[in-house]
Amino acid sequence: MERETRVSVFESESPSEIQLVKSRLDAAKIISFLNDKYMSFTTTPTANTIKLMVNLKDEQRAFKIIDAFIKESDLDLTANLKN
């Protein structure tokens, strides 16, 4: 059985933001996974950053859905787009 590669498509410290984005991906039939053990040199040991991940084959579709959601949303999700 071949293992799928998962990539991060959205990060937040807010579980409610993650759930909103995850529900949009679910509605588009994109399977997503949560990873809340993410640590890097940009986070502190007390940070609770949650990553929403999808299979690599769904990455581009997921980004389009997330971008459209952020544009139409009243939420201030732009703080999560630090690229």
User: What pTM was estimated for this model as a whole?
Assistant: 0.73
Distances (CA, A) of 59 to 33, 35, 63, 74: 12, 16, 6, 24
Look at 83 and 39; give whichever has higher pLDDT. 39
**Predicted local confidence at residue 82, as pLDDT:** 46
For residues 74 and 17, is the Cβ–Cβ distance under 8 A?
Answer: no
**Predicted local confidence at residue 70, as pLDDT:** 87
According to DSSP, residue 35 is labeled E
**Predicted local confidence at residue 83, as pLDDT:** 42
Which tens digit of pLDDT belongs to each residue from 24-80? 999 999 999 998 764 555 555 556 788 999 999 999 999 999 999 888 876 555 555
Using the structure block, give the residue that is written with the tokens 């999700």: 77
Nearest to 22 by CA among 50, 47, 56, 57: 50
